[in-house]
Chains A and B, each alone.
Chain A
Amino acid sequence: AQTVTQSQPEMSVQEAETVTLSCTYDTSESDYYLFWYKQPPSRQMILVIRQEAYKQQNATENRFSVNFQKAAKSFSLKISDSQLGDAAMYFCAYRSARETGTASKLTFGTGTRLQVTL
């Protein structure tokens, strides 16, 4: 079974600075997807960024980028130029690329609460 670990329960960053959230995972599969979801106090789950395991290039979405290290099974999220609106819980998630049966579910880490200070 796949597992996802987020070892930082809480992080803090000053506005306009850069912060990196860590995520490691365990799987025996070679093809899968990794995601970062943001959950602000409104509790809505918002997709931040996705990475396909077969792509070597790290995904980027505006101020958000990932460092995907497949051999190390590491998938960290970097937030540049942090804004007050970035304050939220951030969840790392894994999904198998096999789209049948239980493979399509998301397995989540325990989350990292990000605080943004002035």
Chain B
Amino acid sequence: DTAVSQTPKYLVTQMGNDKSIKCEQNLGHDTMYWYKQDSKKFLKIMFSYNNKELIINETVPNRFSPKSPDKAHLNLHINSLELGDSAVYFCASSQYRSPAFFGPGTRLTVL
């Protein structure tokens, strides 16, 4: 039983394209996150939603738009992809006073 799942796991696309990454959690958590891991393995928060409400938006270009249709899902849409967007994107979820659980990650490669 997968706790946090993401699709796709790999995404290869051309510059200028628009792409989406989907995330679902079956842990019943109220809070979901998107983290970005760059080529040097550094992990940084991008967005967080709590019960479908955006609560964290960390100086991310507005080409990135998260959407949470319900508290179990958090999607990430990226417009006009750039070379610098190449990274691994992790979805995670947590509940009050619990650790965050991560999805398997989506490796995005922009050519």
The interface of chain A, by Cβ under 8 A from chain B, is 33, 35, 37, 39, 42-45, 47, 50, 89, 91, 95, 97, 99-102, 104-108, 110-111
Contact = CB atoms under 8 A, between A and B. Distances in A.
B41 A99 contact: no
B88 A108 contact: no
27 contacts: A39-B41, A43-B88, A43-B104, A43-B105, A43-B107, A44-B104, A45-B90, A47-B100, A47-B101, A50-B99, A89-B41, A95-B100, A99-B96, A101-B55, A102-B48, A102-B55, A102-B56, A104-B31, A104-B55, A104-B56, A104-B94, A106-B33, A107-B45, A108-B42, A108-B43, A110-B40, A110-B42
Interface of B: 31, 33, 35, 40-45, 48, 50, 55-56, 58, 88, 90, 92, 94, 96-97, 99-102, 104-105, 107
B22 to A, nearest CB: 18
B50 to A, nearest CB: 8
Contacts of B45: 105-107
